[in-house]
Structure 1
Amino acid sequence: MLAIAAAVVFGIYLLSDLFNTDFGAHDLINFPTMASLGFLLIALYLAGVGSGPRSGTGTGRRFYGRRPGRG
């Protein structure tokens, strides 16, 4: 989820840069602020914070006996 939020942040900054607008917030929509926010979200995602993909936690389907779809 945090990686998606980082992508949204980078996308908003890219669109504001392409259309040459700052949405009326001169100090908020600039490169250092948006890059810091995006990199913070990516770092949190890679650190395991949030609802990212988990492996080995035992969640998922368990099939007892014959597995469906096996002919």
Structure 2
Amino acid sequence: MLGIVAAVLFFISFLINAADISTNDVFTSTNFMLLGLMCLALHVAGIGSGWAARGRRR
């Protein structure tokens, strides 16, 4: 799920950068890119994947 969120944040960052939209200091393309990288790192680390690492049943 976090991988999809990261892709959406990267797309928003691309649109802000490509369209040269002037935003305030909070909603810059760099901030969206950094949020996307954070979500991608959490996804790769296995957080928010929906699968729990539990012991096997015997």
Aligned amino acid, residue 15 of structure 1: L
- Counting only pairs closer than 5 Å after superposition, residues 23-34 of structure 1 correspond to structure 2 as 25-34=23-32
| TM-score of the superposed pair, with normalisation by structure 1 | 0.60
Q: Based on CA coordinates, which of the two structures has the bigger radius of gyration? A: 1
- Quote the offset at 1:44 in angstroms: 0.3
1:42 counterpart = 2:40? yes
- Quote the offset at 1:41 in angstroms: 0.2
* Correspondence for 1:68: none
The change in CA–CA distance for 1:32 and 1:14 in structure 2 (over 3 A counts) is closer
Q: Which has the higher contact order (CA 8 A, sep 6+)?
A: 2
Query: 5+ residue gaps in structure 1?
Result: 59-71
Q: How many residues align?
A: 54
Q: Once superposed, what is the RMSD of the aligned Cα atoms?
A: 2.4
Q: Report which of the two has the higher share of helix.
A: 2
Query: 5+ residue gaps in structure 2?
Result: none
Q: Is the 8 A contact 2:16 2:29 kept in 1?
A: no
1:10 counterpart = 2:10? yes
| TM-score of the superposed pair, with normalisation by structure 2 | 0.71
